[in-house]
Structure 1
């Protein structure tokens, strides 16, 4: 297995979706260009959702019309068939369809049960254009804010039903940041044992300060693709206290310091995180943007 990792930037989707300050198109393009300069090549750029529920994503179509395309792959999050049609219409490169593993959270997040979410996935899979890649994200993949533990058997049951129309990739999402490294290893191993050829991505939140440890556990378990957001911003509007993503620059530091290539420039990632922090107008959680890399320079 290749030792290099891919960091998928989610700053402008999950990163800002819960922010009170609504970023305009100019600010979004500026932050995107900073992320690209840092090394981002695969970006979850927006979500095609109800703008009254998630105002930050109200400009999804307008934003997609302005995206720099050279060498980039853009992902759009969709929560239902209507969102899928919007994403496909603008020519998004990848569809990321979310299925919540607990019924209570699924009803609050998407207005449907988990079973209904699976049914919509099969409809989407049947209609998606050949050129468009697909990802299914298992939200609340490690725990639900309303029902508590989500058993591995539940994950595998939903996965078996999803795999009747296999996506190109599966993302396991620790939506509320409750996973431990052992949880990561257990669930990644269970999926790989059942579907060894299915690529796995991890979407980790640092709510309880386990994000980097969980990313490392995922790497040890064979995962090579990780979501992250500049400065560690982020959170789900429908999951109480589900704060920030793993900071992109912190993840870059951990992997690069371990001689694992990410394709990112750490200093430029720090600059991009500071750009986003300035746009939001408040301090963000990232550590490397405050401490800097090591060694900072030959004279440090």
Structure 2
């Protein structure tokens, strides 16, 4: 939870939630118990930020959403431009301009009976947009803590980790284990024992003045992850997508995680080992580059 903690905002008590193009007060927003997302976790989703009245990296988010829906043979029923307009209309109805996190969820729709076969779906896709006022709370100055979970990121023929679907049970297991261990997030390995990602964020280390992240074979191609990789290339920082082990992690000079909600966050400790000296100089440089990139959106 510490990687996604936010300032409590009383305005969220009265937000309007968009369900299939219709706005409902928060306490009246409901979907059917026969919805594919509720019954089976059958759907795709995105988390977006509204920054100074604009949706940050919205084209990248839409591509991932529609690519995932296509892989699942799920018809969203709206063009990308129409869906973006619906998101913006939801924000405008809530008088939102900045410091907003949006959860966009698309499921296959309502079923005639609780069964997995898509052919028993009897409605169009269910599209839910929840926009909330959310400003991330800064972690301790040292950064967040991680614990390596026994839950692995699996092969794509079991559950493709590149799909941002509602079926997140492996990540939930990892999250629970991290919480029981008293840390902020779980670090997850791939089937071969190399570092893959975290349960809800992406993972980087800094070693010998280079930035390393996983090969990407066993993790979602995160929007912030990809932007950080591109920022490294643009600013002459050596960045590598490669296999590396926990031994490399423990010996790293710095570590940080990335995500849409909080951007870049330093990591202070992993499995009880302190990471580096706590200087985090490279992380701070990349944090500023990322802030500048968001400001350039428009």
User: TM bucket by the smaller chain?
Assistant: under 0.3
Max radius of gyration: which structure?
A: 2
TM-score, structure 1 as length reference: 0.24
Does 1 or 2 have the higher relative contact order (CA < 8 Å, sep 6+)? 1
The structure with the greater share of residues assigned to strand is 2
Q: TM-score, normalised by structure 2?
A: 0.24
